[in-house]
Amino acid sequence: MHRRVSLLSAVVLAALAGALVPASAAQAEAANGLDPRPAGWTATDSQSERRTVSQYWTTGRMLAAQPLDAPAPRRTQSRGPSEGDPWATRGAAATTTRRSPWSTRGAAWSVGGTTPVTTARQSLVPNSPGLQWTDGGAVVRTTGRVFFTTADGRNSSCSGSAVTSANESVVITAGHCVKLNGAAHRNWVFVPAFDDGRRPFGTWVASAMLTTQQWNAREDINFDVAAVVVAPLNGRTLTDVVGGQGIAFNQARQRQMFAFGYPAADPFDGSELIYCSGRAFNDTVMTRDQGLRCNMTGGSSGGPWFQGFNESTGLGWLNSVNSFTYNFAPNFMFGPFFGDEAMAVYQAAQNTDAL
């Protein structure tokens, strides 16, 4: 579930070869008067309502759900404090040293274990675009399909990941997987380890949704991230049942990544967990996102990108999500940088009551 954006094919050649690091827009957003706190709203507020949502999602409806396009990136979006050269390499310092309200040093922040060592040499894995994941591990249980109904009544699908959190109930996904065209989705559920219609760990109904102010206010693709708090199921919390991945913010760019999702558009059908791997690069066309060689299609939006992923255990540090592809480069996926804005969304979600 991601958008393919048409641009001149010649532009992408320079973009894919680029290695410039864009600057943070946090100060620019504050100057524009945008509330730095994440936007949030209630998805369901009673056991009766959650039961109705859970019963709505029959196997037939899930299998028939269609991917939903995200809005295209817009050149008018703020891309950093430097108007003359928004892609200047001097932005690297701001990216790696900016401070956050939850980290006294601000260079890196993570949960689920110790802070990732981003300066250490990482083993390179050959590019693996769009392959079925068959190695098992925790990633199978923590990654799942997301289903919801849009404001115009369409049943659609995305992907998401369970992460460690104080309330043991947080799913990270893309912003457009919770709200699009100014309207929040309804009937939102997360199905971990979805397998061709089978739901081995049940159907988890959203109780609250949160996203960045940038996505909420103007659907800025640079901040296309969301956190959903799901209600307990049969008296147990989500990560108590399936476990949770770590999550990290303000990490170094251009690192080895593994991306996962449930693509549902041709040539995929949403029935299997698919992955891609390779070294991320910086988008120099229209966004501040990172890119990865990957041919996943619609329905994969919101699927996790991991740094420090261990193929034996299936555990890593969630550091971005599938967001969009360009029409002229269908074999490349792009995902938002997880900076202070994504961190604020996660923090608010893990401190939200799941009941």
Domains of the chain plus CATH, in order, are 3-73+108-350 (2.40.10.120)
For the chain, the C-alpha Rg in angstroms (whole number) is 18
Token pair 């380890």: residue: 193
- The pLDDT of residue 330 is 87
- H or E segment and range at residue 345: helix 340-350
* 83/62: higher pLDDT: 62
Predicted confidence (pLDDT) at residue 23 exceeds the cutoff of 70: no
Residue 164 has pLDDT above 90, yes or no: yes
- State yes or no: pLDDT of 14 exceeds 60: no
Q: What is the pLDDT of residues 193-235, one digit of tens each?
A: 999 899 999 999 999 999 999 999 999 999 999 999 999 999 9
State what percent of residues in the chain have pLDDT above 90.
68
pLDDT at 32: 54
Q: Are 179 and 215 in contact (CB under 8 A)?
A: yes
Band of pLDDT at residue 13, cut at 50, 70 and 90: very low
Residues 6+ away with beta carbon under 8 Å from 185: 148, 149, 150, 151, 156, 177, 178, 179
Ranked by mean pLDDT, which of 28-37, 87-96, 111-120, 151-160 comes out on top? 151-160
CA distance 293 to 329: 9
Q: In whole numbers, what is the pLDDT of the chain averaged over residues?
A: 81
Question: Residues 44, 50: contact at Cβ < 8 Å?
Answer: yes
Over range 263-281, report the average pLDDT.
94
pLDDT of 31 > 60? The answer is no
